[in-house]
Structure 1
């Protein structure tokens, strides 16, 4: 009687075991083998390191650790008095160059009037030359016939030579006045170049003044703060980190033996260690072009020494769907388990 009961219990156990084994085999064949999983996965985000663009003393620290900020909110205000003075100096330089250009323009108008005067003097000198030339010829002829005295002829000759000299002087004055325009043109080009340089300096001074206000480039949460009021920071000094308020993703490192049928777009299920009872949804965004070891600082060199084969892992970017990508329950660096469903995209 007891032996029969033992045989019945053993038979029942074997039957239940066989059914469970068959059920698992059926599940594995139709489902589990198409759903690779890994717990070597972590939450990622585009964390921005906020740095100072210009050196200076921190005047105001507008945020504290773990504070939520909106895009454009003031994070750090540097002492801007030096940059205000540099801006005024640059503005003064621009004004000086503009005044120099105005002075050159006024000088040009004056020089054009001078040129007009020299042309008029030249015309007058040419008229005098023509008259004295005629007088010199006429008095020379009369003097030859003793119609006029030699003294009158000498006076006419002298007036003629004086008129020639005056005309030559007027021509020289006209040439000098016209060449002065070329000098003004060169000065104008130099002043314009100096004005462009001064305007560039003014634009840079404005930028440097704006850089003293360090603002949030996007919505996020402040972390890893290294800035304190009154401390001096140089250009490029990291002041704090800003974690984006949305756009989280998962970097899952799958074994190379799990990648044969994995494709972008396949659905993924994510379970975070911080919330083991909740499942997040996502999908495969992309697969890394190389294994993680190839991107390390010192990649393994298997061509030397003893060789031990190690299963390589390839980073797979999992894009979180819906509210899962919003900073809150999930945070960058948390550990998760990722399971990819390959059944619908084989």
Structure 2
């Protein structure tokens, strides 16, 4: 498009100066015509770089999840091959579940035993209450006999030995009552210590059982989201451990982010919602339509890492570092989105609300760039 404008300008100069001779064609007009053409081209280029900024650094970014098992064990089955499209929840691989199934059975037996023991606590409580009543009745009887022995001794009809004997029996009976009440309180405390519908001992084992069942379920590793697995080198017989630095494979999420990087002085008119077009190298001849989602107003040059050292200022360097670019997030309509591989690169143009007629120039340029992607420029 720029070539067309310059060509039109040259035609106008030829028509007025040479064909119609309205303007004399001399050294002054020749220099003026060339200078005017250069000024026109520079003005157009500098203007479209502001109102329709372009980026030569567009990247398709996918999140990658390192698949690390929660439990350790021997791999018994690898359910997938690499680079296959998967849905969330699809089985990736299975670990030998034998020790985890046995642990679940063991805890299920302990739950049954603890539940039965909990039921006997009510019987123990009834027995403790009965013993308390009996001990209290014996204590009352011994106190009565002690009182009678003391009255007889005062009247001279009894002896002091009986008084001392019944006094000792009262002490023993009081101790028995205290022991019976302690036993009753112990059983009552166990029955009152509940977690939900269960007493504490049963709830504790049930929690262990739930954890064991979770470990058993974790022996089947599933896809965390839609996507595909890469680097599937694990095979049946390999032993996997729950360590983050030894992942079983890498899983590439289907969700994708398109990011274009612009110079810092190109963003003055870009706003969320502006239209954009992208020419990916993996899609030669195609122009992908998009919209501006947001501008990431941050880069690493503005970050100060936590440290005990005083940071160096740019003026202390021989040459100040170049200003880093800012990222602009672009969104593509999912209904018309072509397959864009992770790591795809290309160029993009954003069409702001300023000077809309000049957008046509950038449209021509981005389409020319897309056609240039057909060329494979290498000699080997």
Q: With structure 2 as the length reference, what TM-score do the two structures score? A: 0.70
Count of residue correspondences:
320
Contact 1:263/1:345 (8 A) holds in 2: no
Q: Aligned in 2, Cα 1:345/1:105: closer, same or farther, shift over 3 Å?
A: farther
Residue 250 of structure 1, CA deviation = 1.1
Contact 2:82/2:230 (8 A) holds in 1: yes
Contact 1:43/1:336 (8 A) holds in 2: no
Q: Aligned in 2, Cα 1:295/1:165: closer, same or farther, shift over 3 Å?
A: closer
Residue 210 of structure 1, CA deviation = 1.3
Residue 115 of structure 1, CA deviation = 0.6
2:234 match: secondary structure:
coil
Q: Aligned in 2, Cα 1:281/1:231: closer, same or farther, shift over 3 Å?
A: same
Q: Matches of 2:137 and 2:145 in 1, distance apart?
A: 12
Residue 270 of structure 1, CA deviation = 1.1
Residue 206 (structure 2) aligned to one of 199, 205, 212: 199
1:173-252 aligned within 5 A: 173-184=176-187, 193-235=200-242, 236=244, 237-245=246-254, 247-252=255-260
Residue 29 of structure 1, CA deviation = 8.3
1:331 match: secondary structure:
coil
Ranges in structure 1 where 5+ consecutive residues have no aligned partner: 1-6, 141-152
Q: Aligned in 2, Cα 1:162/1:310: closer, same or farther, shift over 3 Å?
A: closer
1:38 match: secondary structure:
strand
Largest Rg, 1 or 2: 1
Q: Deviations over 1:194-234 (max 9, x none)?
A: 54443332222111111111111222222232322221111
Q: Does 1:314 align with 2:329?
A: no
1:109 match: secondary structure:
helix
Q: Matches of 2:149 and 2:123 in 1, distance apart?
A: 39
Q: Does 1:107 align with 2:108?
A: no
Q: With structure 1 as the length reference, what TM-score do the two structures score? A: 0.76
Q: Matches of 2:70 and 2:355 in 1, distance apart?
A: 48
Query: Which one is further off, 22-31 or 226-235?
Result: 22-31
Residue 259 of structure 1, CA deviation = 1.5
Query: Which one is further off, 184-193 or 58-67?
Result: 184-193
Q: Matches of 1:74 and 1:189 in 2, distance apart?
A: 45
Q: Aligned in 2, Cα 1:345/1:189: closer, same or farther, shift over 3 Å?
A: farther
- Which position in structure 1 is the counterpart of 2:349? 339
1:1-346 aligned within 5 A: 11=18, 33-138=50-155, 140=156, 153-154=157-158, 159-184=162-187, 193-235=200-242, 236=244, 237-245=246-254, 247-291=255-299, 302-307=314-319, 310-325=322-337, 329-343=339-353
Contact 1:31/1:343 (8 A) holds in 2: no
1:40 match: secondary structure:
strand
Q: Aligned in 2, Cα 1:41/1:111: closer, same or farther, shift over 3 Å?
A: same
2:124 match: secondary structure:
helix
Q: Matches of 1:168 and 1:249 in 2, distance apart?
A: 85
What's the C-alpha RMSD, in Å, of the aligned pairs? 3.8
